[in-house]
């Protein structure tokens, strides 16, 4: 607000430069996204920012007009003549630095509860539900065999599950025109509407295509090309890096270059095979090839079935998710045999001479070279390998190469030993046949077959106490003398473990919201082998590790329904021994998530607890945002900042008022109440201050000219009276930590104390 001349007030937006912002994102030196509280989503549309700023300007101008008798001119963003839009662009492009989190890396279904930290700017127009899919089943089972259908559903399921961001795989649908490739790709496009993009596979394989990554600038979850071409790859490094989700430098037209890691799953339809240059090609272990069966559905029925797919999207997504979760590692060692045989001539040479190469102890380079020359002549190879290239390529199919060695009982030079038959045997397992599928290749280490606990022996000397009738500790930890070995661990109890012990708590629910032991075992099985117990409920799992690092840097949240319990301060572990395994506690040094860096608090704004209370009061009066939900979030953020600072405070007595305020929200009361339950209403120093707060202080106030006296004493006989002469605000602040009872006080004595606290004389 400024006053260009008498009687005129100009109201305009002021843009503050901050190192980080939780509501505005800058990427590549320009606006990227803004949080829209009313819609509970992030928006990449710059017009939304303009509209929000203009609404705030209008609201402020309206309240100012009501209070002041002045002419008001509002400098709206939409009005180009005010120049505010130019200031905004300068602010984003020149004054702010890149600060962004990639949006839409998680699928949001119509029945998903969206949070700010989900970084979602969109959601799918359908829920995730278990329902029948007759049209889909009829169509997909006709166009593809069971083996090929499994590949498609496994890939789609990995995206629905969320694991596609970690998988280093991409799918190529290879077959003649009109065989069903486009049908599947079109269905995938509709399944993930808003989360897809189109790309050029040819550009990804061209060394000179500097803008090849531009289609991925918004980091879509799925990238599709209906009719692509990877038959002539000049350089596969960019494609390999993209599929592997490595950090890459992105070059957009007319934009500053930036580094990003794309978590996109690629689907490509093609009539030409993908070029697999040699056995060392990175594409060999990343490619999943899908071939149509050649069967077709009558055209009239096909059109009807394709239309019905729109009504079966929830069930298709659900079904594919189940296929993937049945065995997420199903295609870990998959080899696209057909694609290799079509494009790799040397692989065909080895296949044609499989028995000659695999028989005996080994083969010499001379013998193999003669076989290769004859094969090239018979096959009319246009560009055969020279002998040096042949020598190197053949090494990929043998375990060992020696300059001198024994072959068939005779000494020979340049000898290949140990033919890798497993390369060719594994392909029979990985093509997806039901009978050949490997039975759980992972070691099933998580067995709860013991009742005697190694945990009880290891931590028998640690402080422990049995829980009370309400399930909570009954005694302050400073006063606990019992140890774990002294109590019955088959009852609910609490134990204080050494700080280097971390416990991973698995509480994954089933479809009905109840804890699922089966799902928890499946999730915990992927962690390193260690001592494990069933939780108190019998359906959750606790994995215990010895962490080799600073536990203060760890985040307590690993994933949804997976918590990392840290023994910090007076923290303790709630436990009840039922069943466990007999493995020792393993050491863990990596893999856990770390806390985000703590933000600095402006201590000029919060010099003491009283200032914090005033801030909370202003939030309860909706002075900052005008709506309940953002005010609750504002209180939460400030309490987080205060807790991270050196400020000593305790506003626990305001909790009920804040909770009532949160419950009054019309549209987001549930989320607001959850937020209040997470608030830190006192600093860490106040955690065990119950004894101090329980003491009652009797006080009296006397006021004379230039003299202010406060006399007080702790309740009880023999306690001395303390006389404070002209006390400072700091002295009064310490006194207010206690429960105060006035002794023959006048009505305004309490006001005098608070006036002195605020620095008034």
pLDDT of residue 423: 66
Global pTM value: 0.54
Position 137 pLDDT exceeds 80: yes
pLDDT of 157 reads 95
Task: With a cut of 60, say whether residue 761 has pLDDT above it.
Answer: no
pLDDT at 493 over 50: yes
What letter would DSSP give residue 483? B
pLDDT score for 484: 94
Distances (CA, A) of 459 to 375, 455, 479, 532, 675: 69, 6, 19, 14, 35
Other Cβ atoms within 10 Å of 679 Cβ, number: 21
d(CA 159, CA 164): 5
The arithmetic mean of pLDDT across residues 331-335, rounded, is 84
**3-class DSSP state for residue 546?**
strand
- Judged against a pLDDT cut of 60, whether residue 24 lies above it is answered with yes
pLDDT band at 670; cut points 50, 70, 90: confident
How crowded is the C-beta side of 476, counted as CA atoms within 13 Å? Answer: 7
Q: Could you give the 3-state DSSP secondary structure of residue 428?
A: helix
Confidence of residue 273 (pLDDT cuts 50, 70, 90): confident
pLDDT given at position 80: 85
The pLDDT tens digits for 63-117 are 887 777 678 888 898 888 889 999 999 999 888 888 888 888 889 988 888 888 8
The tokens for 401 are 């190469």
Q: Are 583 and 532 in contact (CB under 8 A)?
A: yes
How far apart CA 144 and CA 296 sit, in angstroms, is 9
pLDDT band at 426 (very low <50, low <70, confident <90, very high): very low
In the 3-class helix/strand/coil scheme, how is 187-229 assigned residue by residue? HHHHHCCCCEEECCHHHHCCCCCCCCCHHHCCCCCEEEECCCC
Min mean pLDDT across 86-100, 285-299, 353-367 is at: 353-367
Q: Are 185 and 269 in contact (CB under 8 A)?
A: yes
Among the listed ranges 19-23, 134-138, 455-459, which one has the minimum average pLDDT value? Answer: 19-23
Categorize the per-residue pLDDT at 753 as very low, low, confident or very high, splitting at 50, 70 and 90: low
For 102-169, the DSSP string reads -S--S---TT----GGG--S---SS-------HHHHHHHHHHS-HHHHHHHHHHHHHHHHTGGGT---
**410-419 and 464-466 beta bridge pairing:** unpaired
Residue 343 predicted with pLDDT over 80: no
Tell me which of 22-36, 119-133, 739-753 is least confident: 739-753
At 68 the pLDDT is 74
pLDDT band at 597 (very low <50, low <70, confident <90, very high): very low
Per-residue DSSP letter, 439: S
Percentage with pLDDT > 90 across the chain: 21
Q: Are strands 586-588 and 410-419 parallel, antiparallel or unpaired?
A: unpaired
> Reduced to 3 DSSP states, what percent helix, strand and coil does the chain have, rounded to the nearest 5?
35, 20, 45
Confidence of residue 602 (pLDDT cuts 50, 70, 90): very low
Residue 433's pLDDT is 36
State how far the Cα of 664 lies from the Cα of 668, in Å rounded to an integer. Answer: 9
| Main-chain dihedrals φ then ψ at residue 106, nearest 5 degrees | -135, 135
Question: Among the listed ranges 253-257, 426-430, 446-450, 575-579, which one has the minimum average pLDDT value?
Answer: 426-430
Average pLDDT over residues 652-663: 88
Q: Is the pLDDT of residue 318 over 90?
A: yes
Inform me whether the pLDDT recorded for 687 exceeds 60.
no
Which strand ranges, in their side-by-side order, compose the sheet holding 410-419? Answer: 362-364, 410-419, 398-407
> Does the pLDDT at position 278 exceed 60?
no
pLDDT at 440 over 50: no
Of the candidate ranges 169-173, 506-510, 606-610, 613-617, the one whose mean pLDDT is the lowest: 606-610
- Averaged pLDDT for residues 643-654: 80
Tokens 């600038």 appear where? Answer: 217
Confidence of residue 222 (pLDDT cuts 50, 70, 90): very high
What is the Cα–Cα distance from 328 to 516, expressed in whole angstroms?
18
Q: What is the mean pLDDT of the chain?
A: 82
| Cα separation values, 128 from 107, 194, 400, 461, Å | 10, 16, 51, 49
Share of the chain above pLDDT 70, in %: 88
pLDDT digits (tens, 9 = 90+) for 690-703: 444 557 888 888 88
- Name residue, tokens 């608030």: 679
Residues near 672 by beta carbon (within 8 Å), at least 6 away in sequence: 628, 629, 632, 662, 663, 665
Mean pLDDT value across residues 641-646: 77
Mean pLDDT of 402-427: 77
């Amino acid at each position: 607000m400024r006053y260009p001349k008498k009687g005129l007030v100009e109201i305009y937006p002021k843009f503050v430069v901050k190192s980080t912002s939780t509501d505005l994102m800058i990427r590549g030196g320009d606006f990227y996204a803004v949080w829209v509280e009313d819609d509970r989503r992030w928006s990449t549309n710059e017009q939304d920012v303009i509209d929000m700023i203009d609404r705030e300007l209008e609201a402020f101008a309206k309240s100012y007009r009501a209070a002041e008798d002045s002419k008001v001119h509002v400098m709206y963003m939409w009005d180009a003549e005010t120049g505010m839009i130019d200031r905004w662009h300068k602010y984003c492009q020149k004054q702010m630095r890149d600060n962004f989190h990639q949006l839409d890396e998680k699928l949001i279904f119509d029945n998903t509860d969206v949070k700010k930290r989900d970084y979602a700017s969109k959601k799918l127009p359908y829920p995730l539900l278990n329902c029948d899919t007759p049209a889909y089943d009829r169509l997909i089972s006709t166009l593809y065999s069971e083996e090929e259908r499994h590949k498609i559903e496994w890939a789609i399921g990995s995206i629905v599950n969320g694991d596609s961001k970690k998988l280093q795989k991409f799918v190529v649908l290879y077959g003649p025109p009109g065989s069903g490739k486009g049908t599947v790709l079109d269905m995938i496009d509709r399944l993930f509407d808003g989360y897809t993009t189109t790309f050029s596979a040819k550009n990804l394989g061209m060394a000179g295509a500097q803008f090849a990554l531009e289609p991925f600038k918004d980091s879509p979850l799925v990238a599709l090309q209906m009719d692509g071409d990877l038959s002539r790859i000049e350089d596969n490094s960019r494609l390999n890096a993209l599929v592997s989700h490595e950090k890459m430098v992105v070059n957009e037209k007319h934009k500053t270059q930036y580094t990003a890691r794309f978590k996109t799953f690629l689907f490509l339809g093609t009539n030409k095979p993908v070029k697999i240059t040699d056995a060392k090609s990175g594409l060999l272990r990343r490619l999943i090839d899908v071939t149509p069966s050649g069967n077709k559905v009558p055209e009239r029925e096909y059109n009807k079935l394709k239309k019905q797919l729109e009504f079966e999207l929830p069930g298709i997504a659900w079904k594919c998710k189940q296929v993937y979760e049945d065995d997420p590692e199903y295609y870990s060692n998959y080899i696209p045999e057909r694609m290799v045989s079509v494009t790799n001539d040397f692989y065909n040479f080895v296949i044609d001479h499989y028995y000659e190469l695999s028989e005996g102890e080994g083969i010499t380079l001379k013998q193999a070279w003669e076989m290769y020359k004859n094969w090239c002549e018979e096959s009319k190879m246009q560009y055969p390998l020279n002998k040096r290239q042949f020598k190197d390529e053949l090494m990929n199919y043998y375990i060992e190469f020696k300059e001198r060695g024994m072959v068939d009982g005779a000494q020979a030079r340049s000898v290949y030993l140990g033919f890798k038959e497993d390369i060719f045997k594994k392909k029979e397992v990985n093509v997806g046949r039901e009978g050949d599928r490997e039975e759980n290749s992972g070691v099933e280490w998580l067995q709860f077959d013991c009742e005697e606990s190694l945990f009880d022996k290891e931590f028998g000397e640690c402080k422990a106490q049995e829980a009370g009738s309400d399930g909570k500790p009954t005694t302050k930890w400073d006063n606990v003398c019992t140890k774990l070995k002294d109590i019955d661990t088959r009852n609910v109890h609490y134990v204080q473990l050494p700080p280097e012990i971390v416990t991973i708590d698995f509480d994954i629910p089933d479809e009905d919201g109840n804890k699922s032991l089966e799902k928890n075992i499946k999730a915990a099985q992927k962690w390193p082998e260690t001592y494990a117990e069933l939780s108190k409920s019998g359906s959750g799992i606790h994995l215990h590790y010895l962490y080799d690092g600073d536990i203060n840097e760890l985040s307590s949240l690993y994933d949804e329904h997976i918590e990392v319990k840290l023994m910090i301060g007076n923290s303790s572990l709630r436990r009840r021994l039922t069943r466990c395994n007999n493995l020792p506690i393993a050491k863990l040094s990596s893999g856990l998530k770390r806390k985000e860096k703590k933000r600095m608090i402006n201590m000029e704004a919060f010099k003491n607890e009283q200032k914090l209370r005033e801030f909370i009061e202003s939030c309860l009066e909706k002075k900052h945002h005008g709506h309940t939900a953002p005010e609750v979030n504002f209180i939460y953020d400030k309490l987080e900042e205060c807790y991270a600072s050196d400020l000593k405070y305790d506003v626990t007595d305001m909790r009920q008022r804040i909770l009532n305020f949160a419950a009054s929200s019309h549209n987001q009361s549930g989320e607001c109440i959850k937020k209040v339950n997470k608030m830190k209403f006192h600093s860490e120093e106040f955690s065990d201050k119950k004894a101090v707060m329980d003491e009652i202080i009797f006080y009296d106030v006397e006021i004379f000219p230039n003299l202010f006296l406060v006399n007080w004493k702790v309740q009880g006989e023999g306690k001395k009276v303390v006389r404070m002469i002209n006390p400072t605000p700091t002295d009064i602040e310490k006194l207010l930590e206690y429960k105060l009872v006035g002794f023959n006080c006048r009505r305004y004595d309490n006001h005098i104390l608070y006036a002195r606290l605020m620095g008034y004389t």
